[in-house]
Chains A and B, each alone.
Chain A
Amino acid sequence: MRHILSILLENEAGALSRVVGLFSARGYNIDSLTVSTTEDATLSRMTIVTHGSDDVIEQITKQLNKLIEVVKVIDLNESEHIERELMLIKVRATGKDREEMKRMADIFRGRIIDVTEKTYTLELTGTSDKLNAFIEAVDRTVILETVRTGASGIGRGERILKI
């Protein structure tokens, strides 16, 4: 099953490679990974999307907690949460595609952030599923390039990951 893990870790050189090294050394999957510093510059927050049986996810969580620089780990799946991913997608926008792309961007609440005579670059945010749906919805041949950040997640309501 797909799980989305939120990890708070010390913002130190090498901490990221410890997490990534753990996944490759123990044969766990990383579907996506995002990381950046938080409002507290000494801490980074990472979101890892992974999949595996409950036993594997339990081991992943325990192994992550064992890393000295990891402060806290939560499995967002355990309760209500919000997840968002950002995608930048460059599409061919000529002839009838130009109008069609504008329409699709509106439907998916995307924004056109760069325009040339032949292309649009769109910015879309949403769940990873929504971004997948967009890619499915448009004609594959007009997609020139995509870049996705991977999902970031946060708990709903009062559920807070902080030290």
Chain B
Amino acid sequence: MQISGAEIVVRSLQEEGVEFVFGYPGGAVLEIYDAIFKQDAFKHVLVRHEQAAVHAADAYSRSSDKVGVALVTSGPGATNALTGIATAYLDSIPLVVISGQVGTPAIGLDAFQEVDMIGMSRPCVKHNFLVKDIAELASTIKKAFYIAKTGRPGPVVVDIPKDVQQTLAEFHWPDSVNIRSYTPVTRGHPGQIKKAVSLLAEAKRPFIYVGGGAVLGNAADEVRELVRSLGLPCTNTLMGLGAYPGTDPQFLGMLGMHGTYEANMAMQNCDVLIAIGARFDDRVISVPSKFTAVPKKIVHIDVDPSSIAKRVKVDIPIVGDVKLVLREMLDVLKATGAKPAAEPLAAWWRQIDAWRAPNSLRYATSNEIIKPQYVVETLFEVTGGNAIITSDVGQHQMWAAQYYKFDRPKQWLNSGGLGTMGVGLPYAMGAQLANPDAQVACITGEASIQMNIQELSTCHQYHIPVKLVNLNNRYLGMVRQWQEIFYGNRYSESYMDALPDFVKLAEAYGHVGFKVEKPSDVEPVLREAFGPKLKERLVFLDFLTDQSENVYPMVGNGKGLDEMDLPPHMRDAQAAESERDYGNLC
């Protein structure tokens, strides 16, 4: 039986087991919306802005093992989607975005709502397709899902002209995908794996550096086994949080620009570094030459060869899927009994514990004014460390990363690579839909939340009971912090004036809102918001926080990992420490 291209799209999504499509209709996708009207295999979630559709689909991927799907119309629908696509691209998130396009005869004629979606999205997708031939529609959609989720994951755009949606054809769903030019490596090279194991066994100051690849590759079990069985210290990047349990004593905290003192010092001073699905980002190692100033041997496991030796030279590159490579490493370790010598490792731990002792995340508490860190810590307590946390971008994002201890992967959703303000609320929506039984909280700032605030309406329509934790400092806090440190306190355009009354705003959208101004109210209000009475409601918690608080520690521009700006209580100690020579440790 012949069906329309639009029906082929819907059937293909069904074949892929799609549960939700996040989208927004318009002229160039009306055919597809008509086909959606006539089916009930998947649910369509009508967002209020296409950017949010893509973010929600992205979060659906980040918080599950599935591929999120967004559907947008041509022209402005497509351009609105781009920020979402770029956000997913920089964090390697699998996603399929279907965009409508003007009819093939109209392409190139500056038709109504025509933009070159393929050209515009090309630099921020893993791949994209313009489907001109109905015969290729189903197989292209299958390929899109396959490309999105295999190898290094990423977003794939399928642009479908309106006439293709209208054309009738038989539906053939291919059994398998075979793309001769695309064959991602999964198994690591056994020789390299053996070399990595012997290098690790010779290490005196080993360190395990785990990134988003371990989350994407579902390798948390393997990471834990490696770290625990050998008694090694471990850090996670912002994207890797949860890949190794945040409450575990072998975890030194996040590293990088706002990493802990101990994680950054260990990163700088280790002699053997095992990088697992992490890409030596500039927010992590800062200046490469400073990072390599202390000589170290590096093993780098990554599924994408171009991530390896991009910013730093490595000694043992292993191209492959983290889970498979680590499994094989563990097998070799077990078979050979290889492990780092006990005494140097113990001395290394003594050094690490000395770095850890002053607690670089300590902050001045207050009974008068709400400290943002305190809100996050209390949120952790109140949710039993179990909630899925999303964040926006800014200081609150860093405090969320530092003070909520993530014990599982896919529990922490944020925009690391693109740093997109406005992801928090749509991320919470996507995460809640993927995990209906989980508690989902969005830690946000009064500026970021306003970038996609319209989604409060979507949450109302679909009864998405997420909790918003607004750390309201009346500032573009992260910008203000940089202006304080690098621009002589000239707070150019970083004050957030004329803020709405968020409680009333939440109520206007049909939700519950609380304004919290006293530290003593933080815990009771959080308990109420996360308690059984408000379980089914979206709650907007507006915490008026200390306006002058900064995120510490901080690796300033151009500084090395051992040149952190530390919180006040550690500054004197730092001066003394810097006298010591870590190169001759152990």
Contacts and interface: CB of A to CB of B under 8 A. Distances in A.
B306 A18 contact: no
Given A17-B119, A65-B306, 11 more contacts: A9-B181, A14-B122, A21-B123, A25-B123, A58-B309, A66-B306, A68-B126, A68-B147, A68-B179, A68-B182, A69-B181
B99 to A, nearest CB: 15
Given A14-B130, A68-B126, A68-B127, A62 B306 contact: yes
Contacts of B147: 68
Contacts of B119: 17
B304 A66 contact: yes
A63 B152 CA distance: 13
Residue of A58, A59, A66 ringed by the most chain B CB atoms within 10 A: A66
Interface of A: 9-10, 13-14, 17-18, 21, 25, 55, 58-59, 62-63, 65-66, 68-71, 163
B122 A18 contact: yes
A17 B126 contact: no
B224 interface: no
B310 A59 contact: yes
Interface string B403-420: 000000000000000000
B190 to A, nearest CB: 22
Nearest to A60: B306
B306 A59 contact: yes
- How large, as a class, is the contact surface on chain B? 10 to 19
Main secondary structure of the interface of A (DSSP, over half): helix
B305 interface: yes
Interface of B: 118-119, 122-123, 126-127, 130, 147, 179-182, 304-306, 309-310
Given A18-B122, A25-B123, A62 B305 contact: yes
A17 B179 contact: no
A150 to B, nearest CB: 23
Nearest to B184: A66
A59 B304 CA distance: 11
Given A14-B118, A25-B123, A68-B127, A55 B181 contact: no
A63 B306 contact: yes
A68 B130 CA distance: 14
Nearest to A58: B309
Contacts of B309: 55, 58
Contacts of B306: 59, 62-63, 65-66
A83 to B, nearest CB: 25
Nearest to A68: B127
Name, among A14, A21, A62, A68, the residue most crowded by chain B CB atoms within 10 Å (CB to CB): A68
A75 to B, nearest CB: 14
Nearest to A9: B181
A110 to B, nearest CB: 39
A65 B180 contact: no
Nearest to A64: B306
B408 to A, nearest CB: 30
B119 to A, nearest CB: 7
Nearest to B310: A59
A70 B305 CA distance: 15
Contact of B180 (A59, A62, A71): A71
Contacts of A66: 304-306
B123 A10 contact: no
B178 to A, nearest CB: 13
A139 B99 CA distance: 57
A37 B118 CA distance: 23
CB-based closest 8 A-B pairs: A62-B306, A71-B181, A68-B127, A62-B305, A68-B182, A25-B123, A63-B306, A21-B122
